[in-house]
Amino acid sequence: MSDNNHSGNWWIWKVFWILLGVTAFEVMLGILKVDGYLPDFLVFDTFLGLAWLTHIFIVLTLIKAGYIVMVFMHLGDEKKSLQWTILVPAFILVPYLLFIILTEAIHANLML
Amino acid sequence: MHDSLIQNDMNAPAWKGGDVPYKASYGKLMMWFFLITDTLTFSAFLAGYGFSRFKYQEKWPVPEDVFTHFPFLEGNHPLLFVALMTFILIMSSVTMVLAVNYGHKMQKNKVILWLSLTIVGGILFLSSQAWEWGHFIHGDKGAVELKNSEVVHIMEDNEIYSVYELMGVGSYDGYKYFDLTEFKNRFSEEENLRVRLSDKTFLDHASSVEYLENNAKKVLLGANLKSNEYGHVLFADYFFFITGFHGFHVFSGVVLLIILLINTIAGTYERRGHYEMVEKIGLYWHFVDLVWVFVFTFFYLV
């Protein structure tokens, strides 16, 4: 996106509605889960140790995070080199941290 | 994007600060670098939460059972209040990005308007968090702590039964302590009540009475750093630590925004010729919203 596309405010409200919609969808899924209306495979079947519903929540969260960082924080308007400088440490270190710590947690659980 | 903001002399030699490879000002770059480190800090907190949750998987409280109340509403409304808090923070992010936008256009009055609304949003969020903390600390229905520090709940059918109700008082009547012997006597008289163990399995009434007689240490009301009526104590510790650290970020953000607003009204940025400071504080404010998006998912939803 270049500055030319930023003439009005419509792009701000577009992202607002996306964030609001995704959050509302998440809350709806959460409430349906509490009330037991979700199909069993979403809640009880797991993939990589997490329920499918959790994977859905993670994907939705990353979508929201992407809109906040790229549009609200204008990272999408910065130079490519700056974008990578900011994103690469997070993309490498955070999954690495989660991988070792959660793997360790499962072993710790087995030793209880 | 904001070439006019970049103070460096583009014609100077590379090692004299002439190159501006990122085409962003020093202040903005430093804010981004700070935010990278803060990202890693919060990731570590959430990873730590994940560690404890996986380790004590069987004994971990279900978040939807913990955060079920809404101010002025009776009954159970899981997730509703935290959804409102999320909405407030997203809304304040929108007002912030509008302030930044009008800053680019040098429209002082609109910057003042949207900055003020952002501050209102931040204060609303902090108030909501104070309410939620208060409610969490006071506790909901109470539980029993065992001699080995585990927490068990009193159940009627599949619902947690209020300790206050069993003792015949209201939960906001000011009771902070119940006598264990009297509690056990009342429990043994109520045939429909059972104990749910910390791993969420149920005992029948007779064995519940015997179990409490042998193992109960005290009636547990509310949550703090040492004990937690909702379940494993680490859940309360992480709750206070993560939402507290995030809340402190929001508080710092509100302070920065107030300074920013005063400077805007005083015309500081008008004289400086650009509103880059609004943009830098805006980055921080959006980051706080970003962190909340993750806290919302990993603390309240999953």
- pLDDT class for B1, splitting at 50, 70, 90? very low
Could you tell me the CATH number of the domain that includes residue B294? 1.20.120.80
Q: What is the pTM of this model?
A: 0.89
Domain-embedded: residue B265: yes
Q: Is the ipTM of this complex over 0.95?
A: no
My answer on whether B83 and B148 are in the same domain is no
Domain ranges of chain A: 1-77, 79-112
Cα distance between residue B212 and residue B85, in whole Å:
39
Q: Please indicate, yes or no, whether residues B101 and B241 belong to a single structural domain of this protein.
A: yes
Last residue of a domain, one of B163, B190, B220: B220
Please give, rounded to a whole number of angstroms, the shortest distance from the CA of B297 to a CA of chain A.
7
The answer to whether B283 contacts A73, with C-beta atoms less than 8 Å apart, is: yes
Please give the average per-residue pLDDT across A86-92, as a whole number: 93
* B180 and B218 Cβ atoms separated by less than 8 Å: yes
Question: Across the interface, do B78 and A31 touch by the CB < 8 Å criterion?
Answer: yes
Query: pLDDT category, A1, cuts 50, 70, 90?
Result: very low
Residue B216, domain member (yes or no): yes
Q: Is B198 on the interface with A (CB under 8 A)?
A: no
Please say whether the beta carbons of B40 and B50 come within 8 A.
no
A55: chain B residues, CB-CB within 8 Å: none
B58, B97, B279, best to mutate vs chain A, most A CBs in 10 Å: B97
Looking at the DSSP bridge assignments, the partners of residue A50 are A47
Q: Is residue B50 part of a domain?
A: yes
Tell me the C-alpha distance between B144 and B216, whole Å: 7
DSSP B58-115: GGPPPHHHHS---TT--S--TTHHHHHHHHHHHHHHHHHHHHHHHHHTT-HHHHHHHH
Q: Write out the residue range of the structural domain in which residue B200 sits.
A: 143-220
**What's the whole-number average pLDDT of chain B?**
89
Rg over CA atoms, chain A: 18
Same domain? For B155 and B95 the reply is: no
**pLDDT category of residue A2 using cuts at 50, 70 and 90:** very low
pLDDT tops 90 at residue B41: yes
Mean pLDDT of B60-82: 82
Residue B73 banded pLDDT, cuts 50, 70, 90? confident
Q: Looking at the structure, do residues B82 and B118 belong to the same domain, yes or no?
A: yes
Residue B18 lies in a domain: no
Same-domain check for residues B65 and B211: no
d(CA B302, CA B292): 14
Tell whether B16 is covered by a domain. no
Instruction: Choose one of B186, B220, B254: the last residue of a domain.
Output: B220
Do B174 and B109 belong together in one domain? no
Does residue B78 sit in the same domain as residue B104?
yes
CB B90 to CB A30 under 8 A? no
Question: Which domain-ending residue is among B196, B220, B244?
Answer: B220
Same domain, B33 and B120: yes
SS3 A99: helix
B87, A93: Cβ pair inside 8 Å? no
Amino acid residing at B204: D
Instruction: Look at residue B3 and tell me whether its pLDDT is greater than 60.
Output: no
Write down the residue that tokens 């995030």 correspond to: B246
**Would you call B290 and A57 a contact, using CB atoms and an 8 Å cutoff?**
no
B100 within a domain of the structure (yes/no)? yes
Distance CA B136, CA A7 (A): 45
**Residues forming beta bridges with residue B153, ordered by sequence position:** B196
- Residue A26 distance to chain B (closest CA, Å): 8
Whether chain A has a CB inside 8 Å of the CB on B87: the answer is yes
Q: Do B87 and A20 make contact, defined as CB atoms within 8 angstroms?
A: yes
The count of structural domains within chain B is 2
Structural domain includes residue B9: no
On chain B, the residues whose CB falls within 8 A of the CB of A3 are 1
Domain identity same for B104 and B149: no
- Say whether both B209 and B85 belong to one domain: no
- Check: CB of residue B151 under 8 Å from CB of residue B145: yes
pLDDT in tens, B222-257: 899 988 999 899 999 999 999 999 999 999 999 999
